[in-house]
Amino acid sequence: MKKWMYLVSVGSLLAIFLFFYFAHVEEARILDKKRTEEAAAKAKVEADRKAEIEQKARDDAAKRAADRAAEEAKKEADRAAKQAAEDKKVKDATDAANAKADGYAKQAGELEVQLSALRTQKEKLNREEFELAKQVELARVAKRNAELEIQRMTDMIAKRAADSAIATPPPPPAKKS
């Protein structure tokens, strides 16, 4: 009998539990329905409030975006004007530098022509100087050769004169004793 007792006590407790459970299931459904309706109402109110806040935020964002766009457009226009002024200043400076460079290039060309003429003249003068130095050296060599020839001739004449009978005095007469 003891075995059935375990079953009877558990079964009776299950029956009591089911009685209270089914009695409160209907109440729980009603409460749950009420809670869902209240949550839906709160959600609707919250959604309306959020929608209003979002609309205000969108309006503010649109206004700020328009202000920012206008400010950026103004800044861009100012920057473009400043850039145009700087570009004009640079262009004017570049044109002035190019004009100076052209003048200097022309002057350099003229100086190149003068330099070429002076180099040609210098080369001509160097050739003339070399020719004159060559002639002077040839004249010196000719003078030395002429002097050597004169010395050789003089020596030859002196030698012939010394060898000739005329040039040698006759021996003194022998003393008669």
What is the sign of the dihedral through the CA atoms of 131, 132, 133 and 136? positive
Q: Decide if 77 is inside a domain.
A: yes
Report in angstroms the alpha-carbon separations of 112 from 62, 77, 103, 118.
71, 51, 14, 10
pLDDT of 1 over the 60 cut: no
Q: Decide if 159 is inside a domain.
A: no
Q: Decide if 18 is inside a domain.
A: yes
pLDDT digits (tens, 9 = 90+) for 33-88: 999 999 999 999 999 999 999 999 999 999 999 999 999 999 999 999 999 999 99
Looking up tokens 């290039």 gives 105
Report in angstroms the alpha-carbon separations of 37 from 33, 40, 46, 48, 155.
6, 5, 14, 16, 160
3-state DSSP call for residue 11?
helix
Q: Decide if 52 is inside a domain.
A: yes
Give the pLDDT confidence score for residue 90 in this predicted structure: 96
Q: Decide if 1 is inside a domain.
A: no
Q: Decide if 176 is inside a domain.
A: no
What's the structural domain count of the chain?
1
The whole-chain average pLDDT of the chain stands at: 91
Q: Decide if 56 is inside a domain.
A: yes
The string of DSSP letters for 48-99 reads HHHHHHHHHHHHHHHHHHHHHHHHHHHHHHHHHHHHHHHHHHHHHHHHHHHH
pLDDT of 157 over the 90 cut: no
Q: How large a percentage of the chain has pLDDT more than 90?
A: 72
The residue segments making up the domain with residue 74 are 7-122
3-state DSSP call for residue 177?
coil
Looking up tokens 């060559």 gives 134
Inter-residue contact 36 to 28 (CB < 8 Å): no
Q: Which two tokens stand for residue 162?
A: 């010394």
Give this prediction's pTM.
0.36
